[in-house]
Structure 1
Amino acid sequence: MSVPWGKPLCRLVCCLAVGSAPVGFFPLSAYAQGAVPDPNQVFSPVTLPTPVSAYRSGDGTPGPMAWKNQADYRIAVTLDPATHELTGEETVTYHNNSPSSLPVLWVQLDQNMYRADSRRAYMSGPPATPHTDGVQIGAVTLVDGRATHEVTPLISDTRMQITLPHPLAPGSTQVFRVRWHYTMPGAWGGRTAVSPSKNGDIYEIAQFYPRMAVFDDVRGWDALPYVGDEFYLDYGNFDYAVTVPASFMVVGSGALVNPAQVLSTTQQQRLAQARRSETRVMIRDLADVEAAAHAPPSGSRTWRFHMDNTRDVAFVASPALLWDAAKLDLPPIAPAPGLKPEAPLGMSVYPVEAMGPQAWDRSTEYVKHTIEYFSHDWYPYPWPTAINVGGHGAGMEYPGIVFDGMKDRDAKLFWITTHELGHTWFPMIVGSNERRNGFMDEGFNTFIDSLASLHFNKGEFAPKHDGEYAPDTGRPADDIVKVLKDPVYQPLMAPSYIPGRGDRHAMPYFKAAYGLELLRSQILGPARFDPAFRHYIAAWAYRHPTPSDFFRLMESDAGEDLSWFWRGWYFTNAAPDYALAGMEYVDNDPAKGVRVKVQNKGALPLPVTLQVTWADGTTTRRVLPTEVWAKGNETIVLLPDGKPVRSAILDPDHAIPDIDRGNDASTAITALVMAGTAQGR
């Protein structure tokens, strides 16, 4: 999901919301502000929550007996604009690749969130969207060859449990059919919504079909009720068909498999041209939209799509949408069965209100950059299309398609496009459990977004310090201090499925992203971080990593014991706090060098730079590694340059979030007194 920011990392501080103090999750007493850090605790080993097993290896990769279940779908839906009702039928083929026999299947019914008696309704107070009756289940039928058996499911809030007549054995497959319908909740945006526009309503349809819950090796069935947060889904292959009035256009996840039946000859030719073009080609132009808006009712059309190895699909339908596209320069993608290989496309669909040279006229340019840049730097984009939709403006991501705002423009449109499509990598490819560990999708994605801004068009939308969205320092290291010092914020490893704690953006977006930046720039360096991060993506593509897997893989590949960092940044809200405690000349003679005393007062001892400025204006820098503080909280740094000192300062570039900068600089030469044994460096 998006955040309203216009520069990487430091923009995110504008979204910080402070609420009432939450119940503590991890013991933080040892990290209270002002407490003297205990090196034995700071550097003790971390017991990670998910243990090593045959399914998850000690190096953070999938184990030798790793498995994942699969759910394949055949879906047919019909949209009725007069009633705002979606009617559907689906056939699910569920593959039990686990070592367990499954007596029940769990299915998610997200639309039940909109019921007046849903858990979400009680948690959220007065609804922003009118209540509905939720999804109405018609029939659930088990299929065994030619035999069928109708069952009565147990519906509990946003979940449906199907009890099987016989447990589904390891290696077996269960096929079942579901009929259902529901009324769309209105103009909420992103998650099945109806939004008005000049030339007709825009239907953004997501979470629209009963979806299998995940059965994994960590918890078995992970069937948390849906309360409007994020998702956790298995992978599979999808065939889906959408029947709409003939004047409507439909664009959805995956490949359109029947263009000859739904597009005009001219539109088919334009689509073929777009597959060869580096710049956008209008496929459905203003004349097409105006003709559709004034066309009399003339029956219906069915648009058919196919998508392989995806965890979800979504689509948009409307008579009001312009459509442009350009080719994506990516490695060849294997076509769906029965389809010829075609160049992948970056696309944008939006109403006429969104047109403009700094508005949606540039959307496909942003789509193209996002997909190509992330494919080159991290992992190849796997699907035949990448689509940006200009609609209500919820800022919401689904595989191959994202729902953004028709009013977005300038830097905001670039950022929202990059962020939502960036979710392709986290969690659409790397299938982490964003319901429980939101930082593994929002934070990881925000981190790669920040790098993308530096790359696009020579930094056109790179970080700037104009305070457009909120006053800030322009330095992430200083902006994050507010979060580290405020007790309202729970640690990143606290459960992310309970809303309303005041940290929706501060923690999973900002702190999580900045943690990766610290790891990359201050602790490991890009030469070690980047290959390890690529390995993490490749190793867990289309699988379900936990935070423990990420921690182990980064340590193993980078060759570092990072227990102190995981504990401080993820399991607690510890922070760095250094002080420059004094300087003295060796034997009171500048020619023999100067000793600088540095104190550690924080429980997160990040590497810190000491800079000394000499009387002649030159400077000397030393980086104090984290290990300095393993034996105590004071150290002496010897600089034998043999010059008089003008001043000294810690962290001159504000590269780390020191929570008290008032004691980081000094100009005084004094006699030093050490609490422990002096150390020369």
Structure 2
Amino acid sequence: MRRSATLAIALAASLLTTAPALSAQNVGGLGGAEKFKQLGPDLPTANGIRTASGAPGRDYWQQRVDYDIDATLDDATQRITGRELITYHNNSPDTLRFLWVQLDQNLFTPNSIGNLTRNGAVRAGARASSVISLNAGQSADSSEYYGGYRLTAVTTATGAKLAYTVNGTMMRVELGAPLPPKATRQLRIGWSYKVLPTTTAIAQGNPRSGQEFFPRDGNYVYTIAQWFPRLAVYGDDAGWQHKQFMGGGEFTLPFGNYTVRLTVPSDHIVAATGTLQNPLAVLSATQRARLARAKASDSILHIVSPAEAKAAESGKPTGTKTWTFAAQNVRDFAFASSRKFIWDARGVNINGTRVIAQSYFPNEAEPLWGQYSTRSVAHALETYSKTTIPYPYPQATSVHWNGAGMEYPMICFNPRRPNADGSYDDATKYGLISVVIHEVGHNFFPMIVNSDERQWTWMDEGLNSFTQYLSERVWDTTYPSRRGPARNVVDYMRLDKTLQEPIMTNSESVQNLGNNAYLKAATALNILRETVMGPELFDAAFKEYARRWAFKHPIPADFFRTMEDVSAVDLDWFWRGWFYGVDNVDVALDTVMEFRLDGAAGNASATEQDRVAKFMAGLPATDKAALSGKRYLYEVDFKNIGGLVMPLVVEFEYDDGTREMVRIPAEIWRVNASVVTKAFTTSKKVTAITLDPAEETADTDLANNTWPRRNDQSRFQRFKGQIKP
């Protein structure tokens, strides 16, 4: 932990507490009490379910939902037809008379809230989605909606019809007989829907899944998610989470066990959540042997080679195969299917257990994917397992597609492909590595530490982007990370406050989701680790949060309380400033006065010198002895221009060329959050003082961070040109 102070600094602190303050500016409070006010009254009241320590309580409960699903993918019509048996376990203390089911594909119907509220003026250069959104929901012949579910059955397990009401992307199913606590109920749902092209899904604001057609060979790559009716969360903190799906706020789901049978064209290769149950029926003997070798190997091996995938592109068989997968204790299920897939894999040792890291991608993604995708999957599993909890699932999969990065349990969909000739630049290379690390990392946040993405995007994206940054630094200490380094958030925090929202803002209401929920949240956590708490305290608390809430449903208060509970660091000022506010960091070195303690003249006036001389004369003998050999006293005024209180990281440069770093906790602002004065005693003459010399606090104006003032280009401007987009 980097908070050590020199004896000189400690003595200066003693000097200030044993006598009247040297500066009148330290008297009174200009917002300090408000900045350091405890969050307790603003957080949910602790109880037996969620404790004041941030841990689950003795009465903690959560629902469980198990699925048994049969689905068929029609390659000719790009349609999925399915039926599911849902087993709902009511672990709550409440009697339930109905269940809420998520119908996410209904976002693509013309009258969905997401469609109707998409906005933008053509004259202002709006995206095409704002113009086509009302029409894109219909197929060419207008006989049916292009997107959205067609429900074919909602019944009991025995086939009796159940009443239901569809409200946009949510469906309320009446249970008939009440479902008491600790009881179980089964229901069946049948459905079908058209799989949209990924480009259409993106245009309508939901780049979560879809299909891509390859004109060169006439084949599709299907990346299928949010594809079956899924039970919403019923929890202790908010009851039913049934906010409409509008494309931005993603989802939250209960944990359960899945058995899924997927019927696809007979030559398709399928990747999915869970473990393949019938390899004898769907894989050749050669593929099974290759897969076994890959799991045992630390090298990447092909299960389906590029040449084999290329050969499969020319076939169009009429038969089908059914792939069966099972997954335990997951909150969702996704899959991908295509005859174009190359498949490679390797094993990863996670605490003595061999886990499979694997990738599925077409030849169009080579050679980039073969070189970096599975390698990045393995790297993410290894690094996240050290910073959070050991990865608990048997495999992790990266699938290539033409959308944005998207995550599901044990499987994620990732973009980036090389040029047509196979070439690629560093931006594409690092773009792939980063997106794979990020999406695989989502297995931890929120697929295992199961936060509510409909409400709090930062709890998964921010925590994951921060952990991704730690992982990238292990990959390469000079890795061109986009999110994490404090200097990268400065431009966003400089924006007018009307263009920002607090991190603690609902997902659908954030103007700039990437900067707010990803960048600012990740940067805040990095600053918390490196500058406020120190890695030792932070890492222990962060890992404990992951351990406490693995396979459970945390809320923000659980994270805030756990970080303080494990570290004994009061962080309420930090959460209040970084997560609940929109102030920025701009602390200036306002005034520096030099005093000579040996009687010689400094740069202060005679009156000021006399004041210090009288102060020194009045010190107890023990303090005078402790100051023996100290020739200089520097009285430094720090002015908080941006409003966000932060620790002071101060570097002194001496006349002999040496440097010394001093770290002062943020609590220095607790009485006066506008201006504070600090006295430092030294044995050597100070020639320069720099505030935040390593740019670790996200200070938005480095030009006022030096004494004497430097007129050359600010360090931020020099670094800005080096930052990769």
Shorter-chain TM-score range = 0.7 to 0.9
Structure 1 vs Structure 2: percent identity of aligned residues? 34
The residue aligned with 1:32 is none
Which stretch has the larger CA shift, 363-372 or 642-651? Answer: 642-651
Deviations 1:159-215 (A, max 9, x none): 110011122111011100001001112233763311023442101110110000000
Name the CA distance, whole Å, in 1 between partners of 2:654 and 2:79. 75
Q: Which amino acid aligns with 2:513?
A: R
Superposed counterparts of 1:7-46, under 5 Å:
37-46=30-39
The residue aligned with 1:606 is 646
Name the CA distance, whole Å, in 2 between partners of 1:114 and 1:462. 39
How far residue 256 of structure 1 moved from its aligned partner, in angstroms, is 0.5
Aligned match for 1:82, one of 68, 73, 76: 76
Structure 2 SS opposite 1:178: strand
1:55 and 2:49 matched: yes
After superposition, the Cα gap between the structure-2 partners of 1:169 and 1:588, relative to the gap in structure 1 and judged at 3 Å, is farther
The residue aligned with 1:13 is none
Superposed counterparts of 1:637-652, under 5 Å:
637-652=678-693
Superposed counterparts of 1:569-584, under 5 Å:
569-580=578-589, 581-584=591-594
Name the CA distance, whole Å, in 2 between partners of 1:555 and 1:294. 60
Q: Which has the larger radius of gyration?
A: 2
Say whether the 8 Å CA contact 2:466–2:526 is kept in structure 1: yes
Q: Which amino acid aligns with 1:93?
A: T
1:445 and 2:464 matched: yes
Say whether the 8 Å CA contact 2:451–2:459 is kept in structure 1: yes
Deviations 1:60-94 (A, max 9, x none): 00011000000100011001111111000000000
How far residue 650 of structure 1 moved from its aligned partner, in angstroms, is 1.5
The residue aligned with 2:114 is 120
The residue aligned with 1:428 is 447
Aligned match for 1:557, one of 557, 566, 574: 566
The residue aligned with 1:676 is none
The residue aligned with 2:193 is 182
How far residue 635 of structure 1 moved from its aligned partner, in angstroms, is 3.8
Say whether the 8 Å CA contact 1:442–1:508 is kept in structure 2: yes
1:407 and 2:417 matched: yes
The residue aligned with 1:3 is none
After superposition, the Cα gap between the structure-2 partners of 1:478 and 1:665, relative to the gap in structure 1 and judged at 3 Å, is farther
Name the CA distance, whole Å, in 2 between partners of 1:45 and 1:314. 42
Say whether the 8 Å CA contact 1:593–1:638 is kept in structure 2: no
1:269 and 2:278 matched: no
Q: Which amino acid aligns with 1:120?
A: G
How far residue 51 of structure 1 moved from its aligned partner, in angstroms, is 2.0
The residue aligned with 1:196 is 213
The residue aligned with 1:251 is 271
Aligned match for 2:93, one of 99, 107, 116: 99
Superposed counterparts of 1:283-432, under 5 Å:
283-331=303-351, 343-356=354-367, 358-405=368-415, 407=417, 409-432=428-451
Name the CA distance, whole Å, in 2 between partners of 1:286 and 1:644. 68
After superposition, the Cα gap between the structure-2 partners of 1:241 and 1:639, relative to the gap in structure 1 and judged at 3 Å, is same
Deviations 1:196-238 (A, max 9, x none): 2344210111011000000000111110111112111110000
The residue aligned with 2:151 is 137
Structure 1 SS opposite 2:83: strand
After superposition, the Cα gap between the structure-2 partners of 1:438 and 1:597, relative to the gap in structure 1 and judged at 3 Å, is same
Q: Which amino acid aligns with 2:268?
A: F
Which stretch has the larger CA shift, 182-191 or 102-111? Answer: 182-191
Aligned match for 1:521, one of 530, 535, 543: 530
The residue aligned with 2:126 is none
The residue aligned with 2:167 is 156
Deviations 1:588-615 (A, max 9, x none): 5466312232223243221112222222
Name the CA distance, whole Å, in 1 between partners of 2:105 and 2:228. 9
After superposition, the Cα gap between the structure-2 partners of 1:437 and 1:484, relative to the gap in structure 1 and judged at 3 Å, is farther
Which stretch has the larger CA shift, 426-435 or 620-629? Answer: 620-629
How far residue 651 of structure 1 moved from its aligned partner, in angstroms, is 1.5
After superposition, the Cα gap between the structure-2 partners of 1:182 and 1:510, relative to the gap in structure 1 and judged at 3 Å, is same
Calculate the aligned-residue CA RMSD, in Å. 2.1
How far residue 481 of structure 1 moved from its aligned partner, in angstroms, is 4.9
Say whether the 8 Å CA contact 1:118–1:157 is kept in structure 2: yes
How far residue 264 of structure 1 moved from its aligned partner, in angstroms, is 1.0
Structure 1: gaps spanning 5 or more residues = 1-35, 334-342, 669-681
Name the CA distance, whole Å, in 2 between partners of 1:298 and 1:285. 23
Q: Which amino acid aligns with 1:312?
A: D
Tell me: higher relative CO, structure 1 or 2? Use CA pairs within 8 A at least 6 residues apart: 1
Name the CA distance, whole Å, in 1 between partners of 2:372 and 2:381. 15
Superposed counterparts of 1:618-637, under 5 Å:
618-632=658-672, 633-637=674-678
Superposed counterparts of 1:222-237, under 5 Å:
222-229=241-248, 230-237=250-257
How far residue 639 of structure 1 moved from its aligned partner, in angstroms, is 3.1
Name the CA distance, whole Å, in 1 between partners of 2:361 and 2:212. 12
Name the CA distance, whole Å, in 1 between partners of 2:697 and 2:286. 57
Structure 2: gaps spanning 5 or more residues = 1-28, 119-129, 138-145, 202-206, 419-427, 603-629, 710-725
How far residue 479 of structure 1 moved from its aligned partner, in angstroms, is 3.5
Name the CA distance, whole Å, in 1 between partners of 2:74 and 2:293. 33
Say whether the 8 Å CA contact 2:493–2:700 is kept in structure 1: no
Which stretch has the larger CA shift, 108-117 or 625-634? Answer: 625-634
Aligned match for 2:696, one of 639, 655, 660: 655
Structure 2 SS opposite 1:451: helix
1:617 and 2:637 matched: no
Name the CA distance, whole Å, in 2 between partners of 1:625 and 1:251. 50
Deviations 1:456-484 (A, max 9, x none): 2x44x6137xxxx9xx9x96336425325
Which stretch has the larger CA shift, 652-661 or 230-239? Answer: 652-661
The residue aligned with 1:22 is none
How far residue 296 of structure 1 moved from its aligned partner, in angstroms, is 4.5
Deviations 1:219-278 (A, max 9, x none): 111101111121111100000011011121111111011010001111111111111111
Q: Which amino acid aligns with 1:182?
A: Y
Say whether the 8 Å CA contact 1:312–1:399 is kept in structure 2: yes
Which stretch has the larger CA shift, 180-189 or 154-163? Answer: 180-189
Structure 1 SS opposite 2:42: coil
Say whether the 8 Å CA contact 1:242–1:304 is kept in structure 2: yes
After superposition, the Cα gap between the structure-2 partners of 1:478 and 1:407, relative to the gap in structure 1 and judged at 3 Å, is closer
Name the CA distance, whole Å, in 1 between partners of 2:655 and 2:663. 21
Name the CA distance, whole Å, in 1 between partners of 2:686 and 2:317. 84
The residue aligned with 1:512 is 521
Name the CA distance, whole Å, in 1 between partners of 2:698 and 2:374. 37
Say whether the 8 Å CA contact 1:48–1:548 is kept in structure 2: no
1:65 and 2:79 matched: no
Deviations 1:289-342 (A, max 9, x none): 234223352411000000000000100011111111111212366xxxxxxxxx
Normalising to structure 2: TM-score of the pair? 0.81
How far residue 623 of structure 1 moved from its aligned partner, in angstroms, is 1.7
Say whether the 8 Å CA contact 2:501–2:511 is kept in structure 1: no
How far residue 153 of structure 1 moved from its aligned partner, in angstroms, is 1.1
